[in-house]
Each structure stands twice: as structure tokens, then as C-alpha cells.
Structure 1
Amino acid sequence: MHPKEDGFKFPAEWLQHKATWLSFPWNVETWEDRLPRIYPSYFKFIKEISEVEQVNINVGNSQVKTIIEKQLALRHMENDNILLHDFPTNDSWCRDHGPSFVVNSTTKEKRIVDWQYNAWGGKYPPYNHDNEIPTRVAEMLNLQTYKPGIIMEGGSIEVNGAGSLLTSKSCLLNKNRNPDLNQREIESFLMNYYGVEQILWIEDGIVGDDTDGHVDDTTRFVNENTVLTVMESNRHDDNYEILKRNFEQLKKMKLINGESLNIIELPMPDPVIDNELRLPASYANFYMCNGKVLVPTYNCKKDDLALGIIADCFPERKVVGIDSKEIIWGLGSLHCLSQQEPKV
């Protein structure tokens, strides 16, 4: 059996959460000397979430737990809403290795889909501890798990909560994930384990994205029929043609009800380059928690414009910008760092 047969589906991110799951950044191979420099923004992220819902943090190891406790005390953030869990991790990208919670709205049950994880096509071994996180969370919460047995990352998909799932060909059809599966077979897994009715495909992701094109850097559902999609205005930028092509594909899509997508354009920030490396900075990598939208900013003149566009999409939520110029060095941002646990 799979979730769809059992009446379960992956809920839209804007629905009510019980908690947010994080895996604390500690791996110096990812962050090099940046770790202390990301703390101000990372702990602001924790603080903003903890004000409205529980925050569960996979601490990595005992030394990391001590660091977290000291940082929380230093910032006067000791909080019953912030819980630390002694689950070993390899890295910090909980969107991709964390538990995918599915819910049955009739029975009010919650279960976990335990996808396999290989660090974006085996790019960053080891990843054994990260691959075990869904199992550990399920055991702690005493939740039943589904094990599809294929590679899947949370940042590679977007759902609208009404039967549609959006993803990118550059990622899910990449042979470094599931080389024995064709597009039709991957669509079958997506529909059965996320509990959706249709799969919508865009082409590619932004330059600098080492995930091979995760959709959470390009196009996000903000309600059942509306997407925010990033666009590059500079024709000479490497992202210009990529994002233009994605936009043209979005314009041709039809939802299950036969309606076209309502498409709202979101600017790309100015290129963020560090040590001659183009980093995957995008305003689309925002995170929706209870009553808030937490948006990565880049100390850029387009920050206010992007925050305003996102705020217009969420009139009932507080939109908070969080400086992510140091965080993006790890090649991900706020959405990549987090995974929601829905309330049932």
C-alpha cells in the first residue's frame, strides 16, 4: 500500500503546522570558516519560527548540542518551543533529508514517507546519517512510515494542496538519482506517495544550484492556483534564458480544474558571488510557517521589491526578511534548511 491508496497526501506548506524540523549546521566541509558567521541569521530564523510553532532541531552530535545551547542562552532564546534531538546528521539541509509528513484529513492521522537520500546524486558523501533522519523521527513520534525505495528530495517538489505537484526535469529526470526509472515511472511514484493527481514539469533551475535544479529556488505555489516564479531582467545574465523558458512552460500549464496558473513574477537578486563562485541566491527560497513568511534577503536593492511582492501574496501573514548572504554560501537558504510537520 502507499499513501494515496490509504487516503493520505502531502499538505500545502501554508496550512497549519505543528512544528518545523531543522538539522543544525555544523559540517565544516560545507561551511568552512562561515559557521560562526551564519549564526545571527540562523538563530533569527529559529526565533521567528519558535514564536509561532514548535522547532525541532536535529543536533548532529554532543559537541554541536553544547554549541546550540550556548547560542540560545546568549540570545535569551531558551524556549519551550525549541526542542533538541540527539539525531546524528551529516549536513544541514533538512528540506531534502528530513521527514515528508503526509496526512489523512478524514481520520486525522499523520504518517511519514521515508524517501531515500543520496546528497543530490552522490555529490557530498557521507550522507548515511541524513538518510536515517526520517526513520528516527518516525520512531520518536511513533508514526507509521512508507518506504518508496527511490531517491527524492523535498526541495525538488511543490504542491498546491489541490492535487497538483510541480517539479523540474533537470533534477528528477537526472540519472544521478534514479537511473532505472523513466519519466512516467517517476510520475507514478510522485502521485502515489505525495497523494496528488497531476505532475507539472518545468525545465531547469538557477545557476549555482548544486541540486541540479530544485524547484524551490524558482517557482513556488502560494495558493491553489497561483505561483510566484523568479525572473531575471538582465538579458546578459546566465539565468535569463533558463527562467524565461520556465515562464513559458508555466503559461501553458492547466490545473486539474482546467484553469491556467495565475503567475506572479518575482525578481532575482543581483548575483551573489564569493571567491569567484556564483551562489544560488533566490527570493523564492522562502519558508511559510504559522502566520509568517520568512524570506531570504541579500543586502541588495531588490530586497524591498521582493518582500513587497511576497507580502501582497500573503496579506494575512507577517513577511520577515532574513539576511542570507552568509547562509547562501552553503548553497541553500531558508526553505532548504527546513521541513514542516503539519497539524492534524
Structure 2
Amino acid sequence: MPAETEPQERLWMAFPVEGYSLGDSAEDAHEARSTWAAVANAAAEFEPVTVVVDPRSTSFAKKYLSTDIDLVEAPLNDAWMRDIGPTFVVDDNGRLGGVDWIFNGWGQQDWAEWDKDAKIGSQVIDLAEARPVATSLVNEGGGINVDGQGTVLVTESVQLDPYRNPDLTRADIEAELHRTIGASKVIWLPRGLTRDAMTYGTKGHVDIVATIPSPGVLLVHSQQNPKHPDFSVTRDLTALLADSTDANGNRWQIREIPAPETLFDAEGPVDYSYINHVVVNSGVIACAFNDPADDAAKEILAESYPGRSIVTIDARPLFARGGGIHCITQQQPVARTP
């Protein structure tokens, strides 16, 4: 699996369909569609974007999305392409492949439906003309983060979740990550952020905790207010990462990105995170929260991705629905034609 900073052929997304992401009111639906579309339209300024659209939502998608964006129709339960779509890989001959993870609603959660979303991975693989990489591992793209050199970050609360992979050991999962995405070093974090373990969460995806902007460098979410439960969580996670090495045996250069000053919303402690951005060709589409910390976070991202334009989008509507910008996108790397 290449690093997300490698050249990309296109970005894949899905468009929200009726359900909890659209909400119960016209205002909620407009907010969701507008935010998904803002990310797609921003990314389309940097590279081709393809959006999977449920036939019930095609008319809305055409209204909200730029005409430069390609639309393909397929039945959907939801719109979190990072998790329902494939993870793209490239083999030693430069051929594009797609890992078709088993998707079961983030561990069979009672609020989730996934009969349609579980088929999206194979459909996107076909549309991308990639070679399918089959697996029996229940996993989501938001549950892994790689450096393109063999290192992968995961969380015990996701890959070892008894409602995802009840019969697999840590060694089993490491072997399958090696076979499917070429991981030679798996770094296990015990959990994710507090809100992500609550309703509409993923049970601990790593992509709001830490990411690898370049080999040997980690960007890590840091909650700096003791009033938030992630104050201790992020300190423990950062200490664990500081004591680890990458696949090349090197210790990490860790750059902490302070969490927004906003601590709570109507549902409890927020997991607002600047870590949950997506890298595109020559750019980064990043989260903003109308928060005093937004500008400092943007500066850290600019320093971590030199030469790339940093475009920020208000991600609060995404996080209210259980994810962020990285969660609704999936990059397809450039591959050589055999």
C-alpha cells in the first residue's frame, strides 16, 4: 500500500443517502450534502474525483457536485468511502490492486446497515480496473495508516474487536496485513478516541489519532485540556508511539497537533481532530471547526506537507455524523500499466 502522499490517479467518494447521515429534516440533509460536496469539489481542483451515488440520490448529487466530478450509480446504505470502499495497493510490477475488506457495519453496530455497502469495495475495484485482492479480514480503511515502507498503524479495539474478527489472533491479523498491503511492521495502539467508542463511532479508528505525512514522521492528535477524557488517552497513545519504531527500525519524529478548544457538543465529548485530513495531488483537504486552534493546525499541516496547498473545510457536520474528511474519501494511487 503506497503512502497517501504518492501520486494519485483519482479520489473516490460516495454521496450521502437517506439514513442517519442525512438526518430527519431538510436542514440536516442540506448540511450533509453540502459538506460532502464541499470536500469533493475542493478535491476536484487537484485531481479527478469519482463519486458513487445511490440512484435515489442522483438528482441531489448533480445539484451539489461540480460538473467536473464523475458520477457512478450503485445502491448505498451510507457514504463513508474510506471504510466501505477498497484499499488500493500496487504490486512489484506496478499493477494496481484493490483489497476488498469484509465490511460489517463497524463491528455489527445496532444503528448500522451494511447489506449494500458491503458490496461497494468489489464494485469500485471493478470500476478502477484493479486486480482484486480477496481477504476474510473484517477491516476498514480508516482503521489503518501506512508509511508506504511497510509500517502500518492499527488499534486493538478495531482489528481485535470480537464483533469483527472473533477468531483471529494478533499474529493472524499481522500475517493478513502483510499479505494484503505489504505491512512488515504493525504498530498496535490499544484504542482510539473517546467519542469514537460511542454511538455512531467506529470503536477506535486510527485515522483520527495519528497519521504519517512522510517517512519517520508522525502527526499525533493531542488533547491538551484535562477536562476532556482524551487528555489522558492521547498522552498514553503518544507515549506508546514515542517508544516504537517504524519498519526500518527508526524512532519517530512526533509532531503533536493540539485538539480544537471545543470540548463538548450535545452528545458528549467531541473527537474533533485535525489528523483526519486527506492528501491529494499538490494539496491537502483538511478539517476546520470554526475554532481558535484552526489556524495553528493549518500551519502544522503546511509545514508537514511542504509544497502542497492546504484547503480547509468546516468538518463539524461530518464529525457530528461519526467521521471526518479522511473518512469520506479513498485515494487511488497511480499505477503502471503492465
TM-score range, shorter chain: over 0.9
Shift of 1:266: 0.4
Q: Where does residue 7 of structure 1 map in the other structure?
A: none
Q: Where does residue 5 of structure 1 map in the other structure?
A: none
Shift of 1:312: 0.8
1:142 to 125, 129, 133: 129
Tell me the amino acid that sits aligned with residue 147 of structure 1: A
1:29 aligns with 2:20: yes
Shift of 1:45: 1.1
1:332 aligns with 2:326: no
Q: Distance in 2 between matches of 1:256 and 1:143?
A: 27
Q: Where does residue 332 of structure 2 map in the other structure?
A: 341
1:131 to 118, 134, 144: 118
1:116 to 102, 124, 127: 102
Q: Secondary structure at the match of 1:20?
A: strand
Q: Where does residue 67 of structure 2 map in the other structure?
A: 78
Tell me the amino acid that sits aligned with residue 304 of structure 1: D
8 Å contact kept, 2:104–2:138: yes
Query: 1:50-129 counterparts in 2 under 5 A?
Result: 50-61=44-55, 63-72=56-65, 77-79=66-68, 82-104=69-91, 106-123=92-109, 124-129=111-116
Summarize deviations over 1:268-316 as a string: whole Å, max 9, x none. 1133544334343111101101111111111111111111111111111
1:227 aligns with 2:218: yes
Q: Where does residue 160 of structure 1 map in the other structure?
A: 147
Summarize deviations over 1:24-66 as a string: whole Å, max 9, x none. 11233233132201333332211221112111111012x3011
Q: Which runs of 5+ in 1 are unaligned?
A: 1-9
Shift of 1:101: 1.0
1:211 aligns with 2:202: yes
Summarize deviations over 1:292-344 as a string: whole Å, max 9, x none. 11111111111111111111111110011111122221110100000111111
8 Å contact kept, 1:26–1:35: no
**Number of residue-to-residue matches in the alignment:** 327
8 Å contact kept, 2:262–2:291: no
Q: Distance in 2 between matches of 1:142 and 1:288?
A: 22
1:288 aligns with 2:288: no
8 Å contact kept, 2:208–2:275: yes
Tell me the amino acid that sits aligned with residue 136 of structure 1: Q
Q: CA 1:324/1:256 → structure 2, altered by over 3 Å: closer, same or farther? A: closer
Q: CA RMSD in A?
A: 1.4
Tell me the amino acid that sits aligned with residue 339 of structure 1: Q
Q: Where does residue 39 of structure 1 map in the other structure?
A: 33
Q: CA 1:276/1:163 → structure 2, altered by over 3 Å: closer, same or farther? A: closer
Q: State the TM-score, normalizing by the size of structure 2.
A: 0.93
Identity %: 29
Q: Secondary structure at the match of 1:336?
A: helix
Summarize deviations over 1:180-232 as a string: whole Å, max 9, x none. 00111111111111112110112221121111111100100011110100111
25-34 or 306-315: bigger deviation: 25-34
Q: Where does residue 189 of structure 2 map in the other structure?
A: 202
8 Å contact kept, 1:203–1:245: no
Tell me the amino acid that sits aligned with residue 66 of structure 1: S
Q: State the TM-score, normalizing by the size of structure 1.
A: 0.91
Tell me the amino acid that sits aligned with residue 109 of structure 1: R
Q: Secondary structure at the match of 2:135?
A: coil
Shift of 1:143: 2.8
8 Å contact kept, 1:280–1:331: no
Tell me the amino acid that sits aligned with residue 145 of structure 1: P
Q: Distance in 2 between matches of 1:204 and 1:117?
A: 19
Q: Secondary structure at the match of 2:298?
A: helix
